[in-house]
Structure 1
Amino acid sequence: FVHAVLAAILATTEYAFGVVGDMGGGLIELITKNWIPMWANHWQIYLIQVAIGLVFIAIYFIVFRTLILKFDFKTPGRTEDEVELFTK
C-alpha cells in the first residue's frame, strides 16, 4: 500500500513538472529509448527527471526506514533468532 501511494505521488510529480515518457522498463531501456536519442533537444527534462528521482530516493528511504523501525518489521538480517550451523 505504501509503495503504491509513493509511486502515485511520484508519477503525479513528474506529470506536474512536464516529465513524460516510457519509464517502466528499467534504467537501460530508459537510457536507450529516451535519453540517448533525444538528449540534444530535451536535456533540461532529463535533469528534472534526475532531480525528482534523487528526491524520491530520499523520501522512499525515510518512509520505509521509519515504518520498519516503528512497527518492527522483520526484514532479512533483523531477525532475533540465532542461526545454527550443522555439520555432518
Structure 2
Amino acid sequence: LKNLLALLIVVGMMIIVDFDDFFIKFHYLAFSNMNWVFSPTSNPIINLFPDDFFAMLFGIWWLFTILLLSLIQWRINRYLSRLI
C-alpha cells in the first residue's frame, strides 16, 4: 500500500507536468477502437468541455485517491500498533 501510494504521487506529479500528452496516451490505451476521438465540427459537445476541465477532474480524482489510500494506511498502522 505504501508503494502504491508513492507510485501514485510520483506518477501524478509527472502527469501534472504534461497533462495533454498523458490524456491522449491514456485514451489510446483504454480505447483501442478510437471511439474517444471527437470532431468539434460534427460533435459540438467537445467544445463544451475545455482541456482544463478534464485536468481538473483528474486532479480531484488523484487527490481523493491519495487521501483515501493515506487514510487506509493510517488505519492499518493504528490497528497494527494496538496489536503490539
TM superposition score category, shorter chain reference: 0.3 to 0.5
Larger Rg: 1
Larger RCO: 1 or 2 (CA < 8 Å, sep 6+):
2
> Is the helix fraction higher in 1 or 2?
2
Normalised to the residue count of structure 2, the TM-score between the two structures is 0.43
TM-score, normalization: structure 1?
Answer: 0.41
